Structure 1
Amino acid sequence: MRTAKVRRRVSVDESALDAWLAYVEETARSDALEKELALLRGSRSWKITAPLRAANRLADRLQPASSQPSRPELRPPVPGGVGTIVLGELHAPLDRILSRIMTGSGPRLYVDVTALDLEDLGAGIQRVTRRVLGAMYADMEIPFVPVPVCLRNDGRYYPAHRFLERFLGLPPESLGGEGVLSPRHGDAFLGLDLCREFAAVLGSAWAALRQTGVRILPVVYDVLPVERPDWFPEPVSRDLRRWLEVVAEFADLAVCISKSTREAFVRALSSDARRIPQTIVVPMGCDGLRMAIPDQVASRRCPRQVLMVGTIEPRKGHADVLKAFDRLWADGRDLRLVIVGHPGWKVDGLLSRIRKISSGCDRLEWLEQADDRTLQGLYRSSSLLVAASEGEGFGLPVIEAAAAGCRLLLRDLPVFREVAGADARYFASPGDLEAALREFSVDASSWPSPPSAGDLSSWGDTVEAIWSHAARMSGPSIES
């Protein structure tokens, strides 16, 4: 399992900020849901259409899910306006954060949050974006001033004031309008969010930043849609290929989330004879599940509960796991499977199977969405995490589950070996998977134990790795 090489002492401010961001995120989700339910249940139509809703639920189970991903659209810039924030009147550490953003000197690190601002699906990349940004604000020694930015439909980047208000729990419009960025030589840009769908606009935006001396550091999560286009809808593979072309032309440093991803990234650019920028590998954190449940929950770990976390799509291996469980259940094995993940593409038949099984018994539970509290609870109440994916850039649930004390059963992939090492059990075929689960249902005492939390990386380690490389970059940007 990856280890953190540098461990900083957590300050009171950092703990307070972490708790506040967790509270804001969970409250925002709860408030949105409560408002929606209140509007619905308070209406006359809610009572009248009760039979229709029942019919719709039945139809939903019979209706195939869309095989194509939705395509978001960039928003226009927010008109200018005067902010109402008064520095010195906010609770610490929010006052310190905003003071750095509004009045801080030194180079700025523009952090792209475009996709997260448009829609937070709670998927892996969105979670990484939130955790890294939170860790940046917790680390007051970072030599850059972190500034969230969004790409707008005029092809330029703007300060993401509306996003930052939501992220920090500030009053709406309290930061004023979003003026065009005024970057300076020595600033840096971190492509933390994946703007795959906006590659055409992205190229001109990055070109404009580089003309002012800003260094471009995109984060590379994986190149699977290019390596295995059969796993994805055609637009996804096409968009990622275009995004890679933009990265090859403008990136000064590509930030990869694993050695396996770096190797795949270099292969993808080499195969098209494109320029390969400098690359680094940074660790992923596992301390981002805020609002954690009490420690007493760990004592209620279910010895027969198995967990899968990830979008339901062909490469994730849900079909192999379901087939293995079907046979184990037929043999009377007392195992319970919990699947967490929203529907993806090319899995209409699989979704029908999951719905049918989960509606008829409690041996299978499917949660399309899970907030941090729910996910942490599942990690700590489950005894085994199964990661059956045939391809990953990293595998964030692997280290999150390990940090919660959950044993690991992983497909034998180089990236999983890189991430989990000897702290996991591996399988190479559906038969191996079934045999391992059958053994687990009897006695898992001989299985590798999860690592201690102190052996795992934090999001603070991620941030430190990023800014240490960015700070060492000097002189003009690398010419393409």
Structure 2
Amino acid sequence: MTARRPRIAVDLLYFTGKRGGTETYARALLPRLAALRPDVELVGLTNTTADPAIREWFPGTTRPLRVDGLNRPLWAAAEVLLVQRAARRAGADLVWCPANFGPRSTGVPTVVTVHDVIADDFPNPEVSRITQAITSWLIRRAARSARLVVTGSDDAAASITRVLGVPASTIRVAPHGTKGLASAHATGDELAQLGIDDARPLVLSTGNRMPHKNFVTLLRALAAIPADRRPQLAVTGSHGADPLAPVVAELGLDQDVHLLGWVTAPQLDALFESAAVYVCPSLAEGFGLPVVDAMAHGCAVLASGIGALREVGGDAARYYGDPLDHEALARELLDMLDHPQERAEQVRRGRARAAQFTWDRSAELTAQALDEALAGAA
């Protein structure tokens, strides 16, 4: 009799197509995991909102649960009440949760990817305390009961132990990847469509508008640069009315800042390839994927001096120390813009650094963690 293939249920209840980095992570890893472990069967546990889109790329079968992925309270309840039950019905040997949240392991063992614990360190003032408490409880509950926790950096691993109380012995580090070294293909037309003047130096920053992204410090730094030497700044990554717009107006930067919202992948490529400097002023990060993407595109990087960004950027990025020091950020940014030869050398080092971070390597390390958890479940 032929032995049944190991079966992993992948918790994709969170997937909506609009959640940025965690969805990029899942879409990059899952096809590679399937190729690396063809003897493992993958079953996606999805929501009814996103299931049709997920089926187009997921390397296995999907089982939609009767949950609206855009309804956060319903989705949170489903993590607690439905995922383990669905995994048992699917005959899963293991549940992998790739986006922080997951069920408490009660029957089917779990592996949880915890990208960061930023919500605990930097609560979002726009989110109610009750919602924040539930979110923290869900992550803590899933991580503590998991057979293994996967994360993207040593700095994130230390934070997970400090904040969530997860033993370091159960954490596996699998650095994220980038889509690869890019060749320039940005055109003036693409930039013009975004309102970018290609005759003026461009600085780029990306990310959601959560407090830890620290975009207000970046805007203050831009305002501190004399108007005749000030570059233009493009900031992507928001949905709807941008909360940075009032700050831009208050600082008198309406002619200098482009709040672009959610851009397409080709548009983002064009911005990376056209920018003189990519700035990451974050107060906290679990990894810092845009830093790697910027280096891969040949864009010089200026980042705050936090642990995860230094771990990722190494000697290929430039740092300005205290993330809240807008004057230091302004000085470093202006110095980079004023010295193109030094910036070119940084770009060279950045391309070499980015080549060390691949989704293939991330997938292999993640596959090893899943293998380990499956072996322990046997």
The amino acid of 1:252's aligned partner reads: R
Structure 2 Cα separation of the partners of residues 439 and 402 of structure 1: 19
Cα separation, 2, equivalents of 1:261 and 1:250: 18
Match of 1:268 in 2: 163
Classify 1:473/1:115 alpha carbon distance in 2 versus 1 (closer, same or farther; 3 Å). Answer: closer
Secondary structure class of the residue paired with 2:342: coil
Residue 307 in structure 1 maps to residue 183 in structure 2 = no
The CA deviation at 1:398 is 0.5
Deviations 1:145-199 (A, max 9, x none): 22221368xxxxxxx8534334369xxxx989879554447x222101343xxx7
Partner SS state of residue 237, structure 1 = helix
Who is 2:371 aligned against? 471
1:33-432 matched pairs, under 5 angstroms: 106-116=5-15, 119-137=16-34, 139=35, 141-150=37-46, 162-167=52-57, 180-181=86-87, 182-184=89-91, 187-195=93-101, 202-203=103-104, 206-207=105-106, 211=107, 214-229=108-123, 233=127, 234-270=129-165, 278-287=170-179, 295-297=184-186, 304-330=201-227, 332-342=228-238, 348=243, 350-354=244-248, 360-361=254-255, 363-428=256-321, 429-432=325-328
- 1:433 CA drift (Å): 0.5
In structure 2, relative to structure 1, the CA distance for the partners of 1:359 and 1:337 (3 Å cut) is closer
CA distances 1:273-300 after superposition (whole Å, capped 9, x unpaired): x7777110001010179xx7x6443999
CA distance in 2, matches of 1:231, 1:414: 24
RMSD: 3.8
* TM-score of the superposed pair, with normalisation by structure 1: 0.62
The question of whether the paired residues in 2 share the 8 Å contact of 1:111 and 1:147 is answered with yes
TM-score, length-scaled by structure 2: 0.77
Quote the offset at 1:440 in angstroms.
2.3
- In the TM superposition, residue 316 of structure 1 has moved relative to its aligned partner by 1.3
Identity percentage of aligned residues: 21
Gaps of 5+ in 2: 67-85, 192-197
Distance 1:232 1:275, change over 3 A: farther
1:302–1:110 distance in 2 versus 1, CA, 3 Å = farther
Please say which structure displays the higher CA radius of gyration: 1
> Distance in 1 between the 2:286 and 2:64 partners?
37
Deviations 1:345-399 (A, max 9, x none): 9x84x332336889953x3211110121111111111121000011111111000
Determine the C-alpha separation between the residues in 2 that align with 1:108 and 1:176.
13
For the 8 Å contact 2:176–2:358, the answer to whether it is kept is: yes
Rounded to whole Å, the distance in 1 between the matches of 2:63 and 2:113 is 29
Secondary structure of the 1:452 match is helix
Relative to structure 1, the CA distance from residue 477 to residue 267 in structure 2 (aligned partners, 3 Å threshold; closer, same or farther) is farther
- Change beyond 3 A, Cα 1:355–1:334: closer
Distance 1:241 1:425 in 2: 33
CA distance in 2, matches of 1:322, 1:431: 11
Report the Cα offset of residue 437 of structure 1. Answer: 1.6
Matched length: 341
